Amino acid sequence: MDHTIEKVIAVAHRAGLEVAVWQASPDNAGMLAAAGADALSVNDVPGVLAALAGDALPSRRLTERDVSQKGNDDE
């Protein structure tokens, strides 16, 4: 069987569950967040924040368009 973390989290979500993950280090935090984990509990908060702000989650980075649209939302 193929039990990727994305599939396991998707099954939990379909069952109406939230997925909270403990990750001691920043090594897999980006992958877990991208896989759909609802919450991350970590030991190294600065390291995980740096990992999440970096290339770990490129789809979650703000683009120029996002920033300009956010400015328009305030009007």
What was the pLDDT predicted at 64? 53
User: pLDDT-derived band of residue 14, with 50, 70 and 90 as boundaries?
Assistant: very high
Residue with tokens 């990727």: 4
List helix spans (H) across 15-62.
Answer: 29-34, 45-53
Per-residue model confidence (pLDDT) at position 1 = 63
Query: What backbone phi and psi angles, to 5 degrees, belong to 18?
Result: -95, 150
pLDDT in tens, 22-73: 987 788 888 898 899 999 898 888 888 888 887 544 444 445 554 455 454 4
Residue 4 has pLDDT above 60, yes or no: yes
Tracing tokens 């069987």 back to the chain, one arrives at 1
